[in-house]
Amino acid sequence: MSALTESAAWRALTQLALADAAVSLNQRFASDPDRARRLAAEACGLYLDYSKQRVDDSILSALLAYADQQQVSAGIARMFAGDVINATEGRAVGHVALRAPRDAGLTMAGAPVMPAVHDVLDRMATFADAIRSGAWRGATGEMLTDIVNIGIGGSDFGPRMVWDALSDPTNRPRAHFVANVDGAQLSAVLGALDPARTLFVVTSKTFTTQETMANAGAARHWLTAALGEAAVARHFAGVSTARQTVEAFGIAPANVFEFWDWVGGRYSLWSAVGLANMIALGPGRFRELLAGAHAMDEHFRRTPLAQNLPVLMALIAFWNYNFLGASSQVIAPYAQRLRRFVGWLQQLEMESNGKSVNRDGQTLDYPTTPALWGDVGTNAQHAFFQMLHQSAALHPVDFIIPVKPVRGLPEQHPLLVANGLAQSAALMRGKDAEQVRAELSRQGLSGATLEAAIPHRVFSGNRPSSTLLLPQLDAFHVGALCALYEHRTFVLSLLWNINAFDQWGVELGKQLAQQVTMAMGDGSGVAALDASTQQLLERVHAR
């Protein structure tokens, strides 16, 4: 056993979990009429109801005591101070600086960063305004009507999610996103575009990412085949730290936008990685996105842990997974425009916290990071909610519900909201055998037929969920929502004593992909591959 699992705070939570099964959520509500009001918190317009989680005052007190043991407040302070908290890479973690105001005075590893951050933001805004106004045009003099973002991982998930959340069919210019090295994706996008009206934004920190550079090369060939080599400077922008490599690609120096090694990919949508969003949505809306995230940063930084939204959500997730044995975490946004939110959050959470050693390199004797998955309501209700209601496994749910519609048949929005609220209530309440028997009796069933039907219609209930209400899906509240989950992820890493900001497992896959690619090309390095991979390559070459 590790020092962490042997600690008094961990043991106290273990004892509370053993007693949890004796009291259901229905009983907790019955004995505490004020529960729904007390077990709620609010910040930046976001309202969190966690009263349907399997917690009470004693459990929350024990969780907060555990947070104190893990020095969560000190960890938050260290991140905002720009300390080197990504120890395995020797880096500070500075995504909060990307959305802070000019006079915030933040430093990273002791160096001031706000002037550089706002210099890049200002350059992005100038470039975006020039494209949107027509002052910057393509090589043939046409206005640029389509922006294609080429990236992968954090250079795709975040910008794509923001575009889906905030754009509308009338948006001009239009944004498109290409990540997969499967040529079908890029071909489908290019097939609907005019080279003379298209701008490509290529995003890669090193400008060597295999998938990104393959797609960028194909896009460049498509463009130059139609408009010639000289057109590259008018139709490409680069987001990278490797300025010389970007310029060698043919991108004009003025169109290279940097970010820094203290910006992790999955935390980078607020930086120049969001250039396609700033161009397509406009600098004003992009700055509203940053403002919402900064508002959540300030809440996270300054609010006591007991009322702190990211901290509360992290403590509840920790409790569900490590003590109640939850099998996974489900995210159910009741908003079609958040259909990409789950994919963004999967990378954020599972790439950050999918670790098996602690910050000192010692093997963990407790699990971290349940599988995170989900889909938008009401679609999800007709896909996997059956399992959530009646399977033996426990899958806690975060319901995310905008209160007001932004556009599109607003008369249907009350039905959407009602479904989200009803599902969270159903997961909590369940339906026991006596309720089922009474219902079936009213329908005319009796005797053995009735009794045989009962087990199939019983719902155990007591399934935990939280409900997060947003006033509406605008740029400010989308920014606050994303920052909320970023900070939740960080707090979980503190609770588990792991580093949330490296991803060596991803690097291993990249290295092996290069070896296999070489083997598929000139045959070099085949002998170094395992027998299974060698055999699969033989089958691939034989077809």
* CA 401 to chain CA mean position, Å: 16
The owner of tokens 């250079």 is 155
Helices (H), 21-177: 25-31, 35-38, 57-69, 72-80, 114-133, 157-166
**What are residue 42's phi and psi, to 5 degrees?**
-145, 140
* CA 297 to chain CA mean position, Å: 16
Q: Which residues does residue 43 pair with via DSSP β-bridges, in sequence order?
A: 46
Structure-token pair, residue 69 = 């043991």
Residue 261 has a CB neighbour count (10 Å cut-off) of 15
Q: How far is CA 239 from CA 172, 273, 285, 344, 456, in A?
A: 22, 6, 20, 19, 55
428 with 462: CB under 8 angstroms? Answer: yes
DSSP 383: T
How far apart (Å, rounded) are the C-alpha atoms in residues 275 and 289?
13
Q: How far is CA 533 from CA 505, 517, 518, 520, 527, in A?
A: 19, 12, 13, 11, 10
Catalytic entry in 211, 258, 349, 351? 351
Structure-token pair, residue 200 = 């490509």
Q: Which residues does residue 149 pair with via DSSP β-bridges, in sequence order?
A: 177, 201
How far apart (Å, rounded) are the C-alpha atoms in residues 452 and 14?
38
**What are residue 237's phi and psi, to 5 degrees?**
-130, 155
**Is 389 one of the annotated active-site residues of the chain?**
no
Structure-token pair, residue 272 = 């120049």
**Is 351 one of the annotated active-site residues of the chain?**
yes
**Is 382 one of the annotated active-site residues of the chain?**
yes
Half-sphere exposure in the Cβ direction for 260 (13 Å, CA): 21
* Residue 132, SS3 per DSSP: helix
Residue 524 has a CB neighbour count (10 Å cut-off) of 10
Structure-token pair, residue 2 = 């590790």
Catalytic entry in 434, 510, 538, 541? 510
How far apart (Å, rounded) are the C-alpha atoms in residues 502 and 226?
41
Q: How far apart are the first and last CA of the chain?
A: 52
**What are residue 54's phi and psi, to 5 degrees?**
-85, 65
How far apart (Å, rounded) are the C-alpha atoms in residues 80 and 69?
20
Check whether the bond before 115 is cis (ω within 30° of 0): no
CA angle 335, 339, 344 (to 5 degrees): 125
How far apart (Å, rounded) are the C-alpha atoms in residues 398 and 316?
11
Structure-token pair, residue 511 = 């290295």
How far apart (Å, rounded) are the C-alpha atoms in residues 248 and 135?
25
Catalytic positions are 351, 382, 510
